[in-house]
Structure 1
Amino acid sequence: MASEAKEQRQPSGTAWPVPGSWREALNTRGRGAPDHWLLAVIGVLTIFGLVMLYSASFVEATERHNGNSTYLLGRQFLWLLVGLLGAAVAMRVDYRFWRRLSVPGMAIAVILLLAVLALPPSLAEARGGARRWITIGQISIQPSQLALLVFLIYIADWLSKRGQKLRQVAYGLLPFAVITGLLGALILSEPDMGTCVVLVGVALIVFLIAGADLRQFALAGVISVPLGVAVAYAASYRWQRVLAFLRPFEYRYSLAFHQIQAQIALGTGGLFGVGLGQSRHKFFWIPSPYSDTIFAIIGEELGLLGCLFVLGLYLWLAYRGYTIAVRAPDRYGMLLAAGVTTWVCFQAFVHMAVVAGVLPFTGLTLPLVSYGGSSLASTLTALGLLANISSYEKRDHEAVRVWWGDWRPRLPGLGGRRRTSNGAPGPLRGH
């Protein structure tokens, strides 16, 4: 059976066909088992998230929901079931099938983002001055989270088809900037600066991995930084947040209150923490302690060791994700795996950096841990795609080894050198 599975794997150097139907996409012949370490770290983070969510939310849930201390936990658990269903579908269906739906998926994402801005307040809920949710009855959906997932599928498909044309400004940087800028502008209009930063940051990293010219990448970075400053300055409330970050004690009773209280809670835990469930700051000293500052509650209750445990889980997730990307059987799979990994880990590191006072407050959640149904469901679905890619990964490590002959990894199909049987560099691909 092992030899039969090995024979079903695509030979090195050839393109994998896109499944033409659901029946082909559901065919499991030639697949291996998904990465067990990846599934393990996802499971640990999810279970840990439920525990910490209840600990951080039961005070507010009891106070605001008629004594029901499990109200927010129950809602999160329902979204967990939705996310597990999405992950199960993503793990079952051949990941290459989704590239057929990337264009209509992007169209739907844009329509939903426009709907958030255009729908009446009864359907487009505003919280804290931001219109980011579409509300139907008791269900609230955040389209920007769905847009992130669809964008990764689309941009991985688009970049994988560029080939060497990606190094040309007219075929590479310019259309890439238009695509990313369009989606980023819609998300920023809600306004949602945090998600916009994640979108642009992940897009730039995937653009680099795809083989973009270093000068183009540097140009994109040079343009992005002053543009981000200009966007922050254009809206007075965003600029005030920047000033509050730079001079927090001048704004300690207003804009910097959240930031300062989060840092106090984080430092209160010391090495071992005050104990699970024993946080004092969740008693309304920190706004929404179960969402965009849950890492502060983790630090207070579990201490430095608990924080290092969480950091280690995300670092391990990053290691497994990028390993899967390197071993992916095609460029599309490699870019999609790298994009999903970068999204989850980049957002996690930004969340932790904000709580630690390293970055301005963004409102980003801690993936798989913080309260947020749309975020949890989309993240689990994306990680299901990553697990699916791992089941197709190449076993011929020589064919996918990373060589650092220049500034970037030379992955299969990116113009790198292959090694001959005696270990010497072979000719450049395409020559």
Structure 2
Amino acid sequence: MGKIILNRLKHMDYSIIVVACLLAGFGLLMIYSSSYVLGYLEYGSANHFFIRQLQWFGLSVFLFIFVALFPYKNYRKLAPMLVIFSIILLILVLVPGVGVVRNYSQRWVGIGPFTFQPTEIIKLFMIIYFASFYSKSEEKLASFKTGVLPPLIILSVMFILILKQPDLGSAALILFACGFIIVCSGVKGRHLLMLGSVGMAIIVYFISSTSYRMERVTSFMDPFADPAGTGYQLVNGYIAIGTGGLWGSGLGNSVQKLGFLPEAHTDFIMAVIIEELGIFGLIILMGAYLFLMFRGVQIAKGTTDMFAKLLAIGITFQMMTQVIINLGAVSGLMPITGVPLPLISYGGSSMLFTMISLGILTNISIKNQMSAA
């Protein structure tokens, strides 16, 4: 056993570990910078959010190493159980007394002092399940009824349960990641066209079915029409970004985080980063994400195992889609959906399962390196 672990450590992709830890470390710095006033006012400690995120980071590093050394093929056997567990979690979120309400949304499960967001877990679990199911031979995928449809029924159930919270951003993110796995699996073109059309119709229907979702989606188009209401967060985000310019006002010198910009330490943390570090800070951050995307694509290309290939593609695409949605919301190019910036925004569940996902990606890379040796 010891020799096996040492051999895996020898072939580990340390570049992923270094970049992930640098991103998380930078996130801790910016969480402190953007939340110390809020932490002091609400909890009597300027370090409140920083300490909590640091604790999650410690646990995340431990689990990253564990999953990086745990053979990824075992996840294929666990896929059905992960689906059942995911549905149970989504039902628990909606149970009064178990589900925790924050900002008019019931997206968390509380167990004593411990609170977590199940959708962060489900993002990864659904990638594992879809990669497992669609890694079949092309002959089996040729049948729409038995080779394509079953996971989509489960995905539809989860999509509806997540919208009940409501959490349109996470629901769309899971839908896009699973859809990308299907595209890369070898499913027939006519099936893809049909699924794409149905998927877009479902998204449009659910967005337009309630005034709340419609307002969230359309308010970004003209935030200045209601700058004190629906456009308040985005307008203050614009002010932060506009103030930052090329080089920023300096680390810790953001004005918008002082009670003007809502969720400055969570989904709008990028506005604070640009205000303090300028466009230069954005470029450095995007360089780190693009490196992880490049490594994810290389790892997917380097394996002959279809399950590993789809798993690597799903993890990589899901993370980059999350980055795009977050930056799109902060810049006003996309609706504000509350999607956090991976490894940067405050949130233990997001930190934990992003690191676990990268650990699985590292595990696939280890297998590739060992096979090539």
Provide TM-score, normalisation by structure 1.
Answer: 0.82
- Whether the 8 Å CA contact 1:162–1:171 is kept in 2: the answer is no
Q: State the match for 2:13 in structure 1.
A: 35
Out of 19, 22, 25, the position equivalent to 1:44 is 22
Find the aligned partners of 1:226 and 1:253 in 2 and give their Cα distance. 32
Find the aligned partners of 1:234 and 1:288 in 2 and give their Cα distance. 27
CA shift at 1:187, angstroms? 1.4
The letter of the residue matching 2:85 is I
Find the aligned partners of 1:249 and 1:220 in 2 and give their Cα distance. 37
The letter of the residue matching 1:216 is H
Greater shift in the superposed pair: 237-246 or 337-346 = 237-246
- Equivalent position SS for 2:368: coil
Find the aligned partners of 1:167 and 1:179 in 2 and give their Cα distance. 20
Find the aligned partners of 1:108 and 1:229 in 2 and give their Cα distance. 28
Alignment of 1:170-319 (within 5 A): 170-319=145-294
- Whether the 8 Å CA contact 2:138–2:187 is kept in 1: the answer is no
Find the aligned partners of 1:174 and 1:157 in 2 and give their Cα distance. 14
Find the aligned partners of 1:235 and 1:199 in 2 and give their Cα distance. 21
CA shift at 1:303, angstroms? 0.4
Out of 361, 364, 369, the position equivalent to 1:389 is 364
- Whether the 8 Å CA contact 1:329–1:394 is kept in 2: the answer is no
Out of 105, 122, 126, the position equivalent to 1:151 is 126
- Whether the 8 Å CA contact 2:326–2:340 is kept in 1: the answer is yes
CA shift at 1:321, angstroms? 0.7
The letter of the residue matching 2:297 is Y
Indicate how the Cα distance of structure 1 residues 273 and 29 shifts in structure 2: closer, same or farther if over 3 A, else same.
Answer: closer
Q: Which has the larger radius of gyration?
A: 1
Q: Describe the superposition over 1:114-170 as per-residue Cα deviations: whole angstroms up to 9, x where unpaired.
A: 01112x23x311012211111123211111111111111111111113533223322
Out of 308, 325, 329, the position equivalent to 1:333 is 308
Indicate how the Cα distance of structure 1 residues 159 and 30 shifts in structure 2: closer, same or farther if over 3 A, else same.
Answer: farther
CA shift at 1:207, angstroms? 0.8
Q: Is the counterpart of residue 105 in structure 1 residue 105 in structure 2?
A: no
Out of 32, 35, 45, the position equivalent to 1:57 is 35
RMSD, aligned CA: 1.9
Indicate how the Cα distance of structure 1 residues 232 and 394 shifts in structure 2: closer, same or farther if over 3 A, else same.
Answer: same
- Whether the 8 Å CA contact 1:152–1:340 is kept in 2: the answer is yes
- Whether the 8 Å CA contact 2:27–2:345 is kept in 1: the answer is yes
Indicate how the Cα distance of structure 1 residues 27 and 186 shifts in structure 2: closer, same or farther if over 3 A, else same.
Answer: farther
CA shift at 1:380, angstroms? 0.6
Q: State the match for 2:99 in structure 1.
A: 124
CA shift at 1:395, angstroms? 7.7
CA shift at 1:196, angstroms? 0.5
Where structure 2 has 5 or more consecutive residues not aligned to the other structure, the ranges are none
Q: Is the counterpart of residue 93 in structure 1 residue 67 in structure 2?
A: no
Find the aligned partners of 1:259 and 1:125 in 2 and give their Cα distance. 26
Out of 319, 342, 349, the position equivalent to 1:374 is 349
The letter of the residue matching 2:36 is F
Q: State the match for 1:115 in structure 2.
A: 92
CA shift at 1:282, angstroms? 0.1
Find the aligned partners of 1:235 and 1:81 in 2 and give their Cα distance. 41
Where structure 1 has 5 or more consecutive residues not aligned to the other structure, the ranges are 1-22, 398-431
- Equivalent position SS for 1:95: coil
Q: Describe the superposition over 1:217-253 as per-residue Cα deviations: whole angstroms up to 9, x where unpaired.
A: 2222222222211101112111112231223222221
Provide TM-score, normalisation by structure 2.
Answer: 0.95
Q: Is the counterpart of residue 365 in structure 1 residue 340 in structure 2?
A: yes
Percent pairwise identity: 32
- Whether the 8 Å CA contact 1:162–1:172 is kept in 2: the answer is no
Greater shift in the superposed pair: 341-350 or 32-41 = 32-41
Find the aligned partners of 1:394 and 1:215 in 2 and give their Cα distance. 37
- Equivalent position SS for 2:246: coil
- Whether the 8 Å CA contact 2:223–2:235 is kept in 1: the answer is yes
Greater shift in the superposed pair: 124-133 or 34-43 = 34-43
Find the aligned partners of 1:79 and 1:352 in 2 and give their Cα distance. 24
Greater shift in the superposed pair: 193-202 or 124-133 = 124-133
- Whether the 8 Å CA contact 2:244–2:274 is kept in 1: the answer is yes
Out of 75, 78, 93, the position equivalent to 2:55 is 78
Number of aligned positions between the proteins? 371
